[in-house]
């Protein structure tokens, strides 16, 4: 059934991870399209800077900030209560916030693993569950859940991150099917290597040697070439068109194809492609 385009100026958009990267750029673009905003992040200073810039450019919009650590389940529940009390006209939820953790599973602690799952999966689930009655009460609402390249393939050293991103992918697909009849649509986003601070800010398991940790971060950073502002434009366009699924960048599109055509060998093939690409870039810069 054909869906009407999403109408940005008819309610409030909630965006998590809005203090930088894709979340910041998505928030700015939503404001340009007339959405009131609730911006969520754990970095309160940076979040205030983003919100102030949006208010200055769009004085007619309501822009509220919420400084919250999404790893804290009680804080997420309290956040939901405040949002519902202050913004009953919610029309869009963008679950964008995410954290990364490097290290093979055998050397991670369960607390470390749970931290990633809490931020990347359980927080979006709890926030969506709490806000869903308000969303579905307004025909034409929309939910965006940001998965990852590593929600398509699961490389070694990314057991926690991939688990969280595969989980949010499955949750989104089930939710999309369940909400189809009530007029609320869902987009799952799989960014490839987006140029953000996620690699620099990634945690490394306490049992991982420093040299190995540094090497892992550098390998991760090799993928981060796609501009965050361009990724945000694609996400907002996908919202407007109510696209069910968005792959951003060749580093997401190639693994998606490999996972379909050669599931048993997709990681090995992708690793070779990334290595060849990195060597080629190094040769061009010499």
Give the catalytic positions in this structure.
161
Q: What is the DSSP letter of 149?
A: G
31-69 per-residue burial string, b: 16 or more CB within 10 A, e: under 16: beeebbbbbbbbeeeebeebbeebeeebeebebbbbbbe
Helices in the chain by DSSP H: which ranges? Answer: 21-32, 44-57, 73-86, 110-117, 123-136, 159-179, 210-221, 228-241, 250-261, 266-285
Rounded to 5 degrees, φ, ψ at 76 are -65, -45
Give the separation between CA 186 and CA 29, rounded to whole angstroms: 19
DSSP lists the bridge partners of residue 246 as 189
Distance from chain centroid for Cα 38: 16
Token code pair at residue 21: 């990267």
DSSP lists the bridge partners of residue 36 as 12
In terms of Cβ atoms closer than 10 Å to its own Cβ (0-12, 13-18, 19+), residue 285 is: exposed
What is the SS3 assignment for 204? strand
Residues 6+ apart with CB under 8 A from 110: none
Q: Can you tell me which residue has the tokens 């991150």?
A: 161
Q: What is the DSSP letter of 157?
A: T
Count other C-beta atoms under 10 Å from residue 277's C-beta.
15
């Amino acid at each position: 059934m054909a869906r009407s385009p999403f109408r940005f100026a008819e309610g409030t958009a909630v965006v998590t991870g809005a203090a930088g990267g894709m979340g910041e750029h998505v928030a700015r673009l939503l404001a340009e399209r007339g959405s009131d905003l609730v911006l969520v992040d754990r970095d309160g200073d940076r979040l205030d800077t983003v919100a102030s810039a949006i208010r200055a450019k769009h004085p007619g919009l309501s822009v509220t900030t919420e400084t919250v650590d999404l790893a804290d389940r009680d804080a997420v529940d309290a956040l939901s209560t405040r949002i519902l009390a202050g913004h009953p006209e919610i029309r869009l939820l963008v679950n964008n916030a995410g954290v990364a953790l490097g290290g093979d599973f055998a050397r991670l602690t369960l607390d470390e693993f749970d931290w990633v799952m809490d931020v990347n999966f359980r927080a979006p689930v709890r926030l969506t569950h709490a806000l869903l009655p308000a969303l579905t009460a307004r025909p034409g609402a929309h939910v965006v859940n940001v998965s990852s390249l590593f929600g398509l393939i699961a490389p070694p050293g990314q057991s926690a991150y991939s688990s969280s991103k595969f989980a949010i992918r499955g949750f989104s697909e089930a939710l999309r099917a369940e909400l189809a009849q009530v007029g609320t649509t869902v987009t799952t986003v799989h960014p490839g290597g987006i140029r953000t601070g996620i690699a620099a800010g990634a945690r490394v398991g306490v049992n991982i040697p420093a040299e190995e940790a540094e090497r892992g971060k550098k390998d991760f950073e090799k993928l981060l070439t796609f501009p965050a502002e361009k990724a945000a434009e694609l996400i907002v366009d996908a919202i407007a068109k109510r696209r069910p699924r968005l792959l951003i960048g060749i580093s997401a599109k190639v693994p998606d194809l490999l996972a379909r055509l050669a599931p048993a060998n997709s990681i090995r093939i992708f690793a070779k492609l990334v290595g060849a690409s990195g060597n080629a870039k190094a040769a061009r810069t010499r």
